[in-house]
Structure 1
Amino acid sequence: MTINAEAPVAAARGGPVAAEREAEGSASATDLVLPLAAVGGVGILAGYGYLRRTRRARTRTTPGVISPHPPMTPLPVLERQAGAALVQADDCVRTSRDELAFAEARFGAEAVEPFAGALREAERELSAAFAIRLRYDGGVPEEEAARRHALAGIVGRCAEAGRRLDAEAPGFDQLRALERGMAEAQEVAEGRFRELAGRTGAVEATLADLTTRYPASATATVVGYGEQAKDRLVFATTHLNQSRQAADLGDTARAIGDLRAAEGAISQADILLNGIERLADSLTAAAGLVPAALTGAEAEIARATAKAAELRSHLTHADTVLATVRLEMTSGPYDPLDALRRIVRAVRALGGGRDGVLGAAALLTGRHDVDPADDFVTTHRGAVSAGARTLLAEAQRLTGTDPGAAGEQALKSRELAEQDVRVHGNPHAGTDEPTSGMSGAVLGGIVLNETPDGGPPLSFGGPETRRRRGLPPT
């Protein structure tokens, strides 16, 4: 091979020149083969590296690289998020309702109507969210994609409820004008405080009387309510005094925070005392209704007996219930509300009992079951889960149309809420000063348990505004 333009000359087979050219040819071939081999190796390595990079790009989750199939949030995580949204929205609604009552007491119903309207809208959104959760807990819908959509709907409804309250919080503050009208607001709160403090002794006496006239089951729903009411009032008087002192010193922010803490405790003390008085009224009404309910139930059983043989097992059960109630009435103290509840349930299984005296009995027992459950959730909301609140929302929805079913849901709600409180405990119990009332305030959700001193009191508003009147650090 030559690299010039001249005609090639045949090489001799022997001699030094031939040997030299042969050696040169051999070296040239070797020089050519080695680079080609190196290039081939580099190509193989480059291809392998490309494949590895491609594979990593498809699977890795480091920032800056978007996977074509991002991982989905596990369903249990979404369920916990939806539950937390329900609890927060429900707390916002309950707190807003409490403070709205103080504003109405001072300014009247007409002045607070725009804020009451916003609260009603928030309540509707929350009710819709609870309805979705109730169906979800019952397995509807079944497909995972649809269940994810349902959970997103719960979060969205709760967010809208909070947004409505957040939007009205500035206007609500302008109405209350606590910076300018602190003295008047303190007088309203102190007036309610004095009224409750004056009632406490009489209410405790009422409860003591109930415990002597009825078995323990009749008063189980209000056990400890007198002590809890006094605990809330201790907390209230402490913060009312601190609010007065802060106002005298010109520390308006501190005065407002202490006032809101006191108002929250006063509202819950009122709920607890009302619960005892309502129980006394319900027991009296139930005792007067039991004889008529027995008569009405017997008439329903007679009609059912003549109507269908397939109700035989229900008829036998109903007869047994009525006989048991009659025996209890003549054997000593008995629980008239529980007796009515059993009569109503026995007759409902026969397809009757929705009108007349049995309808009245169902309404009485249903309301008795729903109202105490609501009281318990309100005064223990720092520990009550979304599950108990969901059942309570369903019970409240059914109260007007099916009080018997409402009562059953309410009892389940109360049972679950009590379980939540037992499991949750109270981090302030046994650690705060005996006279501070902080444990009850934390358990009742009056203050957020975010700092060692209990955290800020809550105000009218949604998640973004309810902390705005926090207590300054001491």
Structure 2
Amino acid sequence: MHARWSLNARAAALVLAVMALLLGPAGAAIATPPVTLGSGYILDDAGVLAPPAAADAEERLQRFREESGLDLWVVFVDEFTDPASSADWANQTALDNGLGPTQYLLAVATESRQFYLSGDSAGPVTDEQLGSIEQNDIQPALAAGNWAGAIDATAEGLAEATGTGTDDGGSSSSNGSSGLLPLLAVGAVVLAGFVLVGWVLLRKRRHPSPSAIEAPAMPTEELERQASAALVATDDAITTSAQELGFAKAQFGDEATAAFSDALERARAALTEAFSLQQSLDDETPDTDASARAAYTRILELCAAANADLDAKAADFDELRKLEQNAPEALVRVEDERVKAAASIEAADAALAALGARYAPEAFATVSDNPDQARARLEFATDQLAEAQRDVGAGRGGEAAIGIRAAEDAVDQARLLEKAIDDLAANLAEGERQAAALVSELETDLATAASLPDPDGRVAAAALATRRSVDEARKLLVPPSRPLAALEALRAANEQIDAVIAGVRDAQARDDRARQQLSQAMLQAQAQISAADDYITSRRGAVGATARTRLAEARASLAAAQQLQGTDPASALAQAGRAAQLAAEATSVAQRDVGSFDGGGFGGSGSGSNGGAGMLGAVLGGVVLNSLLGGGSRSSGGFGGLGGLGGFGGGGSRGGSRGGSFGGGRARPASFGGGGTRGRRGGGRF
């Protein structure tokens, strides 16, 4: 398929040629740093498109979006700077503007004659296809000075690569005639060229480059959207990177993977700070627009730093694992792990049934579908391993590695889902024990309160409320019980009665009391966090930024409680209580997200590696990029194409030879690296 130029595009090219011959350079080239994209698809800071050509191109790209489901932005500047590399400049612009896997950016420096087509290699067009579009479609048009034609060529190249191209009668080069344009038409075009010379020069004077004037500030709402997207993508990157690192540690040991562990910890620290900022924005304290913008900007900076740390180690990590070279051995290893995980599902069923016999449904709601989810992950793993086996037999090591990595992630999630049932059972049993002990303790407190002087009736009121809480907790502890809910109610009652009788205790006694309560509070917080973490990790393909923020802040509060327990037990107790509350909120929000998840277009029907429960589970679990496979919906924090991936990586942006072909059933998990790498090609000059 060849680029088709409209008459307006031809006229624009002719005008520019006339200008170049008659006028020479219009002025010194202006170096431009990465730009902020506007509401349209075209940003012409170099002034190379006349208004009619720009309007035609904008309309063409709108149609391209409707026909292909892809987005293409085009930027013309004089020269690239900060960075000067065409690839780095285009990729940085794409990242700064939050472009996702189905969104592409063509950046052209008209004076230095450089260009680059930035595309996320987790998207539907492979790096090889993007390179071909650059060489065969874009470069010839740019070399001819046909700026509008380069836009058409890019769009049609992308459409051809994804099989979504349609005839565009409005941009045909022939207009139904194979002969020369009539002489009158040629004269009109030349005349139009002279008329437009003045417009171009005037634009150069009146519309300086963004380096000469300050670009309009991005709306706060857009900053918020980008920060939400970055949090989700980076959290997925770190979660999946930790999984991939775990595989590498098991295979090569801690010493060989120390550098990757360090990078992961730095990324986690940055993300923790980012989540803390998001939590401060979500709390009840109003924020000024300036403070909110500063916080969102800092979140984006921290997420970029986290991804950059992972990106810096991506190539080394791939070299360490070498799944492509060791595909046969890796295939045997992952298949063995799949068999073991499958053998444990019946035990998970039995453990879940035991929970159902002893506890109320809401007490184990976070694991109620875990065996089914584990089966879905293993179904997906089975399909991927079967395809990988065929690839190994055919000598396709790279393709086999893709399936092996996806299967490896899915098996690991199946084990996590099974283990979560046992973990919750242990937490519920310990909650029962501690709740029973707290009931006895409160009975003692009530006896103490009855002996205190009560001139204003405050002691009696607190004692009455405590008695009601104790009675309610006793009911919650009767099978089918809700021990963690009972423990929470008892803790609240304990704090209330303690506040009343605190006046008769000295500071040391209060600290001793807080230490006694702290172990109960820490257990509850850890249990709530563990349940929320397991739920979100195994369903991260559907969970948005809000639940992740609450969970991250819950972890931070629990860590603060652990640090304070030896020196300030009262403050530690407050932090532990906050951690439990935030973890409960995280679970609730995550459950709503999962409830509104549309399955990425798979809907649970069908069979094979591209349908059925296996693929649906892989999409839900983040093993396969949701947006790559058709895009599901999330109930909070719309974040475009920055959904989760399985494997060690960040934000869905991969490069090099790690991708697979789009379509045909091959899932493409990520590997070690962050979201900063959108491509591995060189762009070019024209």
Q: TM-score category by the smaller chain?
A: 0.7 to 0.9
The counterpart of 1:154, out of the listed 299, 305, 308, is 299
Unmatched tracts of structure 2, length 5 or more = 1-198, 500-509, 562-574, 632-642, 665-686
Superposed CA deviations along residues 42-100 of structure 1, whole A, max 9, x for unmatched, are xxxxxxxxxxx9xx99xx99786999675332211110111101111101000101111
How far the C-alpha of 1:191 sits from its partner, in A, is: 2.9
Partner of 1:385 in structure 2? Answer: 544
Distance 1:102 1:148, change over 3 A: same
* Equivalent residue, structure 2, for 1:428: 602
User: What CA deviation, in whole Å up to 9, does each residue of 1:282-307 have, x standing for no partner?
Assistant: 22222233321211233445556749
Work out the CA distance in 1 between the residues paired with 2:208 and 2:459: 67
| Aligned counterpart for 1:101 among listed residues 225, 243, 246 | 246
2:524 maps to 365
Taking a change above 3 Å as real, the CA distance of residues 70 and 115 of structure 1, as seen in their structure-2 partners, is: closer
Instruction: State whether residues 193 and 233 of structure 1, in contact with CA within 8 Å, keep that contact through their aligned partners in structure 2.
Output: yes
* 1:339 corresponds to: 486
Partner of residue 131, structure 1: 276
Aligned to 1:289: 434
Please state whether the residue corresponding to 1:93 is helix, strand or coil. helix
CA contact (8 A) 1:318 1:346 kept: yes
2:48 corresponds to: none
Helix, strand or coil for the counterpart of 1:382? coil
Helix, strand or coil: the match of 1:109? coil
- The reply on whether 1:415 has 2:562 as its aligned counterpart is no
- Structure having the larger proportion of residues in helix: 1
**Cα gap change, 1:283 to 1:161, in 2 (>3 Å):** same
Match of 2:626 among 449, 452, 460: 449
Root-mean-square deviation over aligned CA pairs: 3.0
Return the offset for 1:140: 6.2
2:618 maps to amino acid: A
Q: Mean alpha-carbon deviation: is it higher for 96-105 or for 130-139?
A: 130-139
Residues of 2 paired with 1:467 and 1:227: CA distance?
Answer: 34
* Structure 2 counterpart of 1:326, one-letter code: R
Preserved contact between residue 380 and residue 614 of structure 2 (Cα < 8 Å): yes
Shift in alpha-carbon separation, 1:328–1:436, aligned structure 2, 3 A: closer
Check conservation: 2:388, 2:400, Cα contact below 8 A: yes
Query: Alpha carbons of 1:187 and 1:69: their partners in 2 closer, same or farther (altered >3 Å)?
Result: closer
Deviations 1:247-297 (A, max 9, x none): 221111111110111112112111111111112222222223332121123
What per-residue deviation string (whole Å, max 9, x for no partner) do you get for residues 151-189 of structure 1?
A: 110000000000000001111111112122223323332
Identity fraction in percent: 35
Report if the CA contact (8 A) 1:200-1:273 is conserved: yes
Aligned equivalents of 1:390, 1:230: Cα separation in 2: 29
Quickly say closer, same or farther: Cα 1:147–1:303, change in 2 above 3 A. Answer: farther
Per-residue deviation, residues 400-451 of structure 1 (Å, max 9, x unmatched): 4033221110111111111122233212113442656111111111111244
Task: Tell which deviates more after alignment, 169-178 or 432-441.
Answer: 432-441
| 2:391–2:397 CA contact under 8 A, matched in 1 | yes
Deviates more, 1:65-74 or 1:420-429: 65-74
Choose the corresponding residue for 1:278, options 410, 415, 423: 423
Give the aligned length. Answer: 416
Stretches of structure 1 that go unaligned for 5 or more consecutive residues are 1-52
Q: Deviations over 1:11-57 (max 9, x none)?
A: xxxxxxxxxxxxxxxxxxxxxxxxxxxxxxxxxxxxxxxxxx9xx99
Question: Which 10-residue stretch deviates more, 428-437 or 408-417?
Answer: 428-437
Aligned to 1:17: none
- Residue 314 of structure 1 deviates from its aligned partner by 4.4
Aligned-partner Cα distance in 2 for 1:93–1:61:
47
Q: Give the distance between the partners of 1:139 and 1:61, measured in 2 at CA.
A: 46
Question: Structure 1's 63 and 253: CA in aligned 2 closer, same or farther, altered over 3 A?
Answer: farther
Partner residue in 2 for 1:7: none
Match of 2:554 in 1: 395
Flag the 1:77–1:354 CA change in 2: closer, same or farther, 3 A.
same
Q: What is the aligned partner in structure 1 of residue 49 from structure 2?
A: none
Distance 2:323 2:302 in 1: 31
Question: Closer, same or farther in 2 for the Cα pair 1:133/1:282, shift >3 Å?
Answer: same
Distance in 1, matches of 2:206 and 2:299, equals 29
1:233 aligned to which of 341, 357, 378? 378
Q: Distance in 2 between matches of 1:342 and 1:107?
A: 47
Q: 1:223 to 1:63 in 2, by over 3 A?
A: farther
Tell me, yes or no, if structure 1 residue 322 matches structure 2 residue 470. Answer: yes
Distance 1:150 1:256 in 2: 40
Q: Which has more strand, going by share of residues?
A: 2
Aligned partners of 2:606, 2:552: CA distance in 1, in Å? 34
> Is 1:266 aligned to residue 420 of structure 2?
no
1:45 corresponds to: none
Aligned residue runs from structure 1 range 16-415, under 5 A: 70-138=215-283, 142-301=287-446, 306=452, 310=458, 313-329=461-477, 332-349=479-496, 350-351=498-499, 354-356=514-516, 358-400=517-559, 401=561, 402-415=575-588
Taking the aligned partners of 1:275 and 1:230, their CA distance within structure 2 comes to 14
Q: 1:246 to 1:415 in 2, by over 3 A?
A: same
Query: For 2:605 and 2:208, how far apart are their aligned partners in 1?
Result: 45
Between Structure 1 and Structure 2, whose CA radius of gyration is higher? 1
